[in-house]
Amino acid sequence: MIICTTIVELKAALARQRSKSPNGFVGLVPTMGYLHEGHASLMQRAGSECEFTVVSVFVNPLQFGPNEDFDKYPRDLERDAALAEKNGVALLFVPSVKEMYPTKPLTRVLISEVTDSLCGASRPGHFDGVGTVVSKLFNLVQPDRAYFGMKDAQQVAVVQQMVHDLNMPVDIIPCETVREPDGLAMSSRNVYLEPGQRKQALILSRTLNQAGELLHKPDMTAGKLLDAAKATIQSAPLAIIDYVELLHYPSLQPIEPDRRLAELNDKLILALAVKFGGTRLIDNRLFQTAGGEPHVQNNDEIQAAPSYSN
């Protein structure tokens, strides 16, 4: 596995690869490091579909607010490199902040509307930073496909919108959320959880499972489902709700509280952000409603989501 820390090294390695195999697909898995099995699943998917897989490890300061955990975000490059190599990654790109932003960036990528809710509302400026760094990585690597986990479904929607609007020649591949055996969504921030917090964090997956059952009730409205979800989360004493939202997906537009879900024929997302101590966790579930037959969207449906770059 090649490890590059500079843009010059990255471009040279990619040029050699494209010279050797001009028709081979290049896949990109953008990460902030402290890799886990959720990231590994993205690498494996990329490896099964692309000849050359690039993983970037970069904790991007532009997407952190002034009171967030940029300085404390977990980092372990040796561990990351071992996991990437184990999963068949061809190139690991590990730039410094100075390498990615040698001067103060005066250009930002702003994506509107799909960033107005959820993490976009509770973390102002976050998705400006995401859009900027992802567009930089796309320009540097020029991948044919880029792989993102659906745990951050809003991020997927934001990147898809950016690619669509700017005609970027890359297919965005959404991949299913990977969970611990007890249901907790894998996240680099899980390492912050104390034992009691870790146990109570399971309330997130329980809430999503409960929502899947409530959807089948013919009189269930968006407001009733949200009330039930909030009540379930609040049953965990350590849980502090940031947001609980039921929205159309991928537009992330709101649903009227009194709207009966059985009447909808659309894809919906129930998205959660909950703090346990100083650790903020997100999770979500996609549901497809179809003429009174709502169901949880399965893995095949997630992976079959259309690319916006075509």
Is 39 one of the catalytic residues? yes
Tokens read off for 144: 């044919």
152 is in an annotated binding site: yes
178 is in an annotated binding site: yes
32 is in an annotated binding site: yes
79 is in an annotated binding site: no
151 is in an annotated binding site: yes
38 is in an annotated binding site: yes
300 is in an annotated binding site: no
35 is in an annotated binding site: yes
| Helical spans, DSSP H, in 21-145 | 37-49, 77-86, 97-100, 118-122, 126-141
The half-sphere exposure of 44 on its side-chain side, counting CA atoms within 13 A, is 11
Residue 116 CB: number of other CB atoms within 10 A? 13
162 is in an annotated binding site: no
Peptide bond into 257 cis (omega under 30): no
CA neighbor of 90 nearest in space, from 51, 121, 39, 135: 51
155 is in an annotated binding site: yes
- Which residue among the candidates 39, 216, 248, 295 is catalytic per the annotation? 39
Tokens read off for 16: 């050699």
Place of tokens 């410094």: 96
Q: Using an 8 Å Cβ cutoff, are 204 and 233 in contact?
A: yes
The one-letter amino acid code at 117 reads S
Binding residues for beta-alanine: 63
Active site residues: 39
Binding residues: 32-39, 63, 149-152, 155, 178, 186-189
